[in-house]
Amino acid sequence: MRFYGCSLRWLLPVLLILSTAAQMEAQTATKPPNEAIAKLLKQAESGDAKSQFDLGYAYATGEGVPQDYAQAVVWYRKVAEQGNAGAQNNLGVIYDHGEGVPKDKAEAVRWYRRAAEQGHADAQYNLGVMYAAGEGILQDYAQAVDWWRKAAEQGNVGAQFNLGVAHELGEGVPKDEVEAVRWYRISAERGHAAAQNNLGVMYAAGRGVEKDEGKAYFWLNLGASALDEKARSVRDAVGATLTPAKRLEIQKRCSKWAARHPPSTE
């Protein structure tokens, strides 16, 4: 059974500022309780950079104050202009999505770049997405891969997955299915559903790795629950090549694996 062309070609959407604190800079999100907002505002108005960031975060997420992206932009901008990479990345996200400001992809790229050049992994990932999509900047897959590699080496799972896609398709790098499998495996083992699906497809087709329907079904089964009907149909097609007993054994292993490995939120 051949599964060429079934793997997901996903350039993950740019990180949403509201998604998870893990996608923000580690030093960023001290989430203030409601009673601390007045104190935080006073500190921010006095020029304290961390308080300015935290106040921007509070307005962006609605933590302790009514959600207000326009105010988030005000406070993020103050600290971003002082060189804070987390605030620069978040301003990029806001301009990218047009929250509190008119949507402006070029301005998003400008802020992503300022943060990325400081080594901010999420900004490096985001800048890579903009290069790959040709949004706010001329499309350039080689530049996309370069920024994703920088982010991937810092552990950004979305960048790790996208490097797998780039190597599988030969976009921005020479086509290399062995390298694609390596990056898919790295991100799949961290709970990234699309990477799990793509790794399963590679095993099913014997692309970049020795063909193995059992391993294919394992990874496809892990990823399928978070993906669409097409992914589930591929899983089921691979499962049909196995005996019922083998499918059940793999499903049990998947359940144990999933209990030990929370899904990626990136």
Give first-to-last CA distance, the chain, whole Å.
32
Determine the pLDDT at residue 35: 72
143-183: pLDDT as tens digits: 999 999 999 999 999 999 999 999 999 999 999 999 999 99
Count of C-beta atoms within a 10 Å radius of residue 156 = 25
Q: At what angle do helices 177-188 and 213-224 cross, to 10 degrees?
A: 50
Determine the pLDDT at residue 263: 80
Token readout for 80 is 């971003």
- The pLDDT confidence band at residue 30, using thresholds 50, 70 and 90, is low
172-217: pLDDT as tens digits: 999 999 999 999 999 999 999 999 999 999 999 999 999 999 999 9
Ordered alpha helix ranges (H), the chain: 37-45, 49-61, 69-80, 85-97, 105-116, 121-133, 141-152, 157-169, 177-188, 193-205, 213-224, 229-239, 244-260
| Cα 44 to the center of its chain, rounded Å | 30
Determine the pLDDT at residue 101: 93
217-238: pLDDT as tens digits: 999 999 988 888 888 999 999 9
C-alpha count within 13 angstroms, C-beta hemisphere, residue 168: 30
Q: Which residue has the tokens 């669409």?
A: 228
Return d(Cα 145, Cα 84) in angstroms, integer: 25
In this predicted structure, the answer to whether residue 25 has a pLDDT above a threshold of 70 is no
Q: What percent of the chain has pLDDT over 90?
A: 76
Return d(Cα 235, Cα 219) in angstroms, integer: 9
Mean pLDDT for the chain? 87
Provide CB contacts within 8 A for 223, sequence distance 6+: 188, 193, 194, 195, 196, 197, 200, 231, 235
- Global pTM value: 0.85
31-67: pLDDT as tens digits: 555 677 888 889 999 999 999 999 999 999 998 899 9
Return d(Cα 255, Cα 11) in angstroms, integer: 28
Burial class for 169, CB neighbours closer than 10 Å (0-12, 13-18, 19+): middle
The size of the chain, in residues, is 266
Determine the pLDDT at residue 2: 25
Q: Which residue has the tokens 């509201």?
A: 18
**How large is the average pLDDT for residues 89-97?**
95
